[in-house]
């Protein structure tokens, strides 16, 4: 189990996270990331790590619960 | 068993490859070599927020010394790789040091195409953090700026210089510089964007010479006109950093030639990633080289997997993605518009007053001769970006894409062409 976080001020709406982990991230009409869930399973971790690493402005993080 | 991986190049492709190897539970030695002495840093802000002085250097950092140590990534910075000894499996550094590897990942990126004109001072190209700092110092002084090259780097520098209050002129030999990528109709809207922001353009005109020094430069154009400038910026493209591989025996042809798994075609223990990699894109059926940030990151993930799992190789066939920030436009391009033969525009890009909320927003959808959806260019419209990327990832038809984007636009945003 791990917890995902986002810095909504830093987010620029590049949407790389939505492509990497669509069940965890979405983007609203203003181009700010939306967390579809806050806790993720171990199976989802690899995709979320990929999303975190693919954010051009490092707005995402994931922490072990 | 791969006991050691040496990554040559410490920009985003190299750093992300190292990180992805560790994240994928690779336990061997990882050495990351960088020619510059700075800790790894990110490049997209160098023409935007960092150049404008809005972001400090810490905000462009890619990998701190602590993070590298924690991930057991051995950083060796400040010495360039001189050549590659494929037979001995060694990277030979400019100081003569030899670094052995089981697998080497070439991530040396690209450099700004050098200016064909020489002035005493005040003439810039933009690629490294040192370039950006030097340009920022000159832009801080009042005086007109001439940007040579109307592509994305040139346009971003022009927008940044304008935001700093400078008088800016862009010169490009093409009448519609962005038209080469997005077609003449959409490209001409990028020309209008410069004019709306009071940036002058000399398009369809080349540069004959640049003379003088910082603060007192003279730019002579091929049509006989003369511009005076305090600062000149030359943004005319990039060249892959592959000349150091000339003696390696690797096949190099505008990048390191690789198979679909990003392995050098004649040396399976050599991989390439990022701007320097020319790999076989199975979706296009031809080799390609891509200079965008997201490609470096996506390709790094694929290369890290293939280095660690040679028994389960993955072909790399991404949907390309690049963004550019110019004035009040956030521009994103997905797929490859140059593979298209026609397009359709939804939105109010050419009519900025049409939308009460302020910023215009639009999407141009591109299709090829087989009615396949091949690319999209999006301005200020995050939901359209997500929809277009998803549709391109699954190989949608153009008609399906058009209908979904029209639905997203709602009744007030009809296609206008």
- φ and ψ at residue B171, rounded to 5 degrees: -120, 135
* Structural domain total, chain A: 1
Q: Which residues of A touch B16 (CB under 8 A)?
A: 53
DSSP B100: E
How far does B83 lie from chain A, in Å, by closest CA? 30
Domain that holds residue B9: 4-111+239-312
* A56/B389 CB distance under 8 A: no
Say yes or no: B106 and B245 in one domain.
yes
| Residue B323 belongs to a domain | no
Could you tell me if residue B116 is inside a domain?
Answer: no
Q: What is the mean pLDDT of residues B97-123?
A: 98
Question: Taking a C-beta distance cutoff of 8 angstroms, is the pair B217, B231 a contact?
Answer: yes
| A31 vs B395: CA distance, rounded Å | 24
pLDDT over 50 (residue B218) = yes
Q: Residue A39's domain spans which residues?
A: 2-64
Domain end position, chosen among B312, B346, B369: B312
Of B272, B279, B375, give the one whose Cα is nearest residue B321: B375
- Mean pLDDT for the stretch of residues B31-48: 97
Considering the domain architecture, whether residues B106 and B244 belong to the same structural domain is answered as yes
Eight-class DSSP state of B41: B
Answer whether residue B141 is part of any domain: yes
**B309 contact A CB<8A:** no
Residues B379 and B340 in one domain: yes
Q: Does B12 touch chain A (CB under 8 A)?
A: no
H or E element: which one contains A45?
helix A42-53
At residue A25, does pLDDT exceed 70? yes
pLDDT band at B192 (very low <50, low <70, confident <90, very high): very high
- In terms of DSSP bridges, do strands B145-148 and B231-234 run parallel, antiparallel, or are they unpaired? parallel
- pLDDT single digits (tens) B140-166: 999 999 999 999 999 999 999 999 999
Domain contains B321: no
User: What does the pLDDT look like over A32-47, one tens digit per residue?
Assistant: 999 999 999 999 999 9
Report the candidate in B36, B30, B28, B126 with the shortest Cα–Cα distance to residue B81. B36
Tally of domains in chain B: 3
The pLDDT assigned to B355 comes to 45
- Give the mean pLDDT of B104-125: 98
B8 with B80, same domain: the answer is yes
Residue B318 lies inside a defined structural domain of this protein: no
Specify the CATH number for the domain of residue B383: 3.30.390.30
pLDDT in tens, B325-363: 999 999 999 999 999 999 999 987 765 544 445 678 999
Give the pLDDT score at B417: 44
Query: Rounded mean pLDDT of B281-308?
Result: 96
pLDDT attached to residue B413: 54
What are the CA-CA distances from residue B198 to residues B11, B168, B396 (Å)? 35, 8, 39
Residue A50 sits in a domain of what CATH number?
3.30.70.20
The CATH number that applies at residue B209 is 3.50.50.60
Tell me what pLDDT residue B351 has: 55
User: Which residues face B367 on adjacent strands?
Assistant: B342, B373
Which chain A residues are Cβ-neighbours of B386 within 8 angstroms?
A: 15, 18, 26-27
CB contact under 8 A, B323 and A16: no
For residue B200, give the nearest of B228, B239, B158, B229 by alpha carbon: B158
Q: Write down the pLDDT at residue B356.
A: 45
ipTM of the complex: 0.95
B312, B339, B369 - which closes a domain? B312
* Predicted confidence (pLDDT) per residue in B227-236, tens digit: 999 999 999 9
pLDDT band at B102 (very low <50, low <70, confident <90, very high): very high
Is residue B226 domain-shared with residue B151, that is, in the same domain? yes
Q: Do A54 and B297 touch (CB under 8 A)?
A: yes
Average pLDDT over residues B5-16: 98
Mark whether B107 and B245 lie in a shared domain.
Answer: yes
Confirm or reject contact between B41 and chain A (CB < 8 A). no
Residue at which a domain ends, from B189, B217, B236: B236
């Amino acid at each position: 189990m791990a917890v995902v976080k986002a810095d909504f001020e830093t987010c620029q709406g590049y949407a790389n996270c939505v492509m990497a982990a669509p069940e965890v991230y979405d983007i609203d009409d203003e181009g700010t990331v939306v967390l579809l869930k806050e806790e993720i399973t171990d199976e989802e971790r690899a995709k979320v790590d990929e999303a975190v690493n693919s954010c051009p402005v490092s707005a995402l993080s994931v922490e072990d619960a | 068993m791969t006991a050691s991986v040496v990554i040559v190049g410490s920009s985003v492709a190299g750093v992300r490859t190292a990180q992805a190897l560790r994240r994928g539970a690779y336990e061997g030695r990882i050495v990351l070599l960088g020619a510059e002495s700075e800790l790894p840093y990110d490049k997209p802000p160098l023409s935007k927020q960092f150049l404008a002085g809005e972001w400090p250097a810490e905000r462009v950092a890619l990998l701190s010394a602590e993070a590298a140590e924690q991930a057991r990534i051995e950083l060796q910075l400040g010495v360039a790789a001189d050549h590659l000894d494929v037979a001995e499996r060694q990277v030979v550094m400019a100081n003569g040091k030899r670094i052995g590897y089981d697998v080497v990942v070439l991530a040396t990126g690209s450099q700004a195409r050098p200016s064909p004109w020489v002035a005493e001072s005040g003439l810039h190209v933009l690629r490294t953090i040192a370039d950006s700092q030097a340009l920022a110092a000159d832009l801080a002084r009042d005086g007109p700026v001439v940007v040579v090259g109307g592509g994305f780097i040139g346009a971003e520098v022009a927008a940044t210089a304008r935001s700093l209050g400078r008088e800016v002129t862009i010169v490009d030999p093409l009448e519609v510089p962005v038209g080469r990528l997005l077609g003449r109709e959409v490209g001409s809207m990028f020309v209008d964007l410069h004019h709306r922001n009071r940036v002058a353009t000399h398009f369809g005109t080349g540069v004959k010479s640049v003379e003088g020094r910082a603060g007192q430069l003279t730019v002579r154009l091929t049509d006989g006109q003369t511009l005076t400038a305090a600062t000149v910026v030359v943004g005319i493209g990039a060249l892959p950093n592959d000349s150091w591989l000339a003696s390696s025996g690797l096949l190099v042809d505008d990048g390191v030639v690789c198979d679909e798994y990003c392995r050098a075609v004649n040396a399976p223990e050599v991989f390439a990633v990022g701007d320097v990699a020319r790999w076989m894109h199975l979706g296009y059926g031809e080799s390609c080289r891509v200079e965008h940030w997201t490609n470096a990151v996506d390709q790094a993930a694929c290369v890290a997997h293939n280095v660690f799992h040679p028994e389960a190789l993955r072909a790399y066939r991404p949907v390309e993605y690049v963004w550019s920030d110019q004035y009040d436009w956030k521009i994103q391009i997905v797929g490859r518009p140059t593979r298209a033969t026609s397009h359709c525009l939804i939105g109010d890009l050419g009519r900025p007053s049409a939308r009460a909320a302020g910023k215009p927003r639009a999407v141009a959808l591109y299709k090829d001769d087989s009615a396949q959806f091949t690319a999209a260019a999006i301005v200020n419209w995050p939901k359209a970006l997500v929809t277009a990327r998803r549709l391109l990832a699954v190989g949608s038809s153009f008609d399906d894409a058009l209908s979904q984007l029209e639905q997203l636009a709602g009744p007030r945003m009809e296609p206008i062409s």
